[in-house]
A = this chain, B = another copy of it.
Amino acid sequence: MKAIEQYQITINEFIAANKFNKFPQELYEPLDYIMALGGKRMRPVMVLMACDLMNGKMEDAVHAAMAIETFHNFTLIHDDIMDNAPVRRGKTTVHEKWNVNTAILSGDVMLIEAYALLMIYENDLMRSILNIFNKSAIEVCEGQQIDMNFESRVDVSLSEYIHMITLKTAVVLGASLEVGALIAGVSKKQAQHLYEFGKNMGIAFQLRDDYLDLYADPEKFGKQVGGDVIANKKTFMLIKALELAKDNDAIELNKWLQAATFNASEKVEAINNIFDRLAIPQLLNDAVTHYADLAWKEFAQIEASLEKKEMMADFMNGLLAREV
């Protein structure tokens, strides 16, 4: 197994050496732009790591890793339109830098290019990967729609929320590990353990994200602390607070949720206090632990060298414990 940075370098080198850079440039420039924005490359790194973990050749997994990274960046372009987001990774979003039409069309062609990357695999493997890819891609769209539906709902249950984040973010992490393992030639059963490991870790990561919205180090946090709170976003914390709040807490919480105008930091502080009184941070950390435990149970079933498994475990623990 290699250090994480080594996988990231492999991905970034592939991106740099395989720019789309085709005609018409108005269509393809946004693809090269967003692919070059960087990020942790978590998904493609997971494809490469899983292949490596299961004794495959990392080079064999690069195209599948790139297909998933290309797909992921397609979702970012379209999600940023839907969220009306001006900035992504510190840079102007595609629909702001160009326009909405270009962002729609460049996203579309990017999704097709993701499929095209998978054509390199031999028949049976290509079919297996395509089945996982289609299923996960459909689930990501479903998760995004369910998330948008939550905006106009006040009665989102915790299980609905977990279902949404599973579809919107966790399944692709599961799929990344599964695909990497299949390229290494493992059994369907082993691949399934990797999928479940990644999916449950993905849920834990997303819950950790929810936590970091309020409790990240503001110095290191790239975005506004409390952004989810300000926007009334139905995250684990708000849903749990709405479920548990009684009497004055319930009244105050609903007052803030319904306030049309407010001072942002006052709102963040007030809701933060309610969360504290209801022990929401503790409950959230319990939930993170719960899904991480489910993940580790799957991990225990994976038949690989102890040394390699330790590196994979370190990687996942690093993501679970991140402060920003």
A contact set with B: CB distance below 8 Å? 22-24, 26-27, 78, 81-82, 100-102, 104-105, 107-109, 111-113, 115-116, 119, 123-124, 126-127, 130-131, 134, 137-138, 141-142, 144-146, 148-149
Contact among B104, B116, B127, B146 for A123, CB-based, below 8 A: B127
Given A27-B145, A119-B130, A119-B134, 20 more A-B residue pairs with CB atoms under 8 Å apart are: A24-B146, A26-B145, A26-B149, A81-B101, A81-B104, A82-B104, A102-B145, A105-B144, A105-B145, A108-B108, A108-B141, A112-B137, A112-B138, A112-B141, A113-B138, A116-B138, A119-B127, A123-B124, A123-B127, A126-B127
Chain copies in the assembled complex: 2
Which chain B residues border A24 with CB–CB below 8 Å?
Answer: 142, 145-146, 149
For this complex, 23 residue pairs linking A to B, each with C-beta atoms less than 8 Å apart, are A24-B142, A24-B145, A24-B146, A26-B148, A27-B141, A27-B142, A27-B145, A78-B104, A78-B105, A81-B100, A81-B104, A82-B105, A100-B100, A105-B144, A107-B108, A108-B141, A109-B142, A111-B112, A112-B138, A115-B115, A115-B134, A123-B124, A126-B127
How many angstroms from the CA of A104 to the CA of B107 in the assembled complex? 10
Which chain B residues border A142 with CB–CB below 8 Å?
Answer: 22-24, 27, 109
Distance in angstroms from A123 CB to nearest chain B CB is 4
Contact at A104–B105, with CB atoms within 8 Å? no
Which chain B residues border A109 with CB–CB below 8 Å?
Answer: 138, 141-142
Contact at A101–B82, with CB atoms within 8 Å? yes
How many angstroms from the CA of A127 to the CA of B101 in the assembled complex? 31
How many angstroms from the CA of A149 to the CA of B141 in the assembled complex? 29
How many angstroms from the CA of A100 to the CA of B103 in the assembled complex? 13
How many angstroms from the CA of A35 to the CA of B143 in the assembled complex? 23
Residue of B nearest to A77 (CB): B104
Which chain B residues border A124 with CB–CB below 8 Å?
Answer: 123
Contact at A108–B146, with CB atoms within 8 Å? no
CB-based closest 9 A-B pairs: A123-B123, A27-B145, A109-B141, A82-B101, A116-B134, A112-B137, A24-B145, A24-B146, A112-B138
How many angstroms from the CA of A312 to the CA of B119 in the assembled complex? 33
Which of A119, A124, A134 neighbours the largest number of chain B CB atoms within 10 Å of its CB? A134
How many angstroms from the CA of A168 to the CA of B251 in the assembled complex? 57
Which chain B residues border A119 with CB–CB below 8 Å?
Answer: 127, 130-131, 134
How many angstroms from the CA of A112 to the CA of B109 in the assembled complex? 12
Which chain B residues border A100 with CB–CB below 8 Å?
Answer: 81, 100
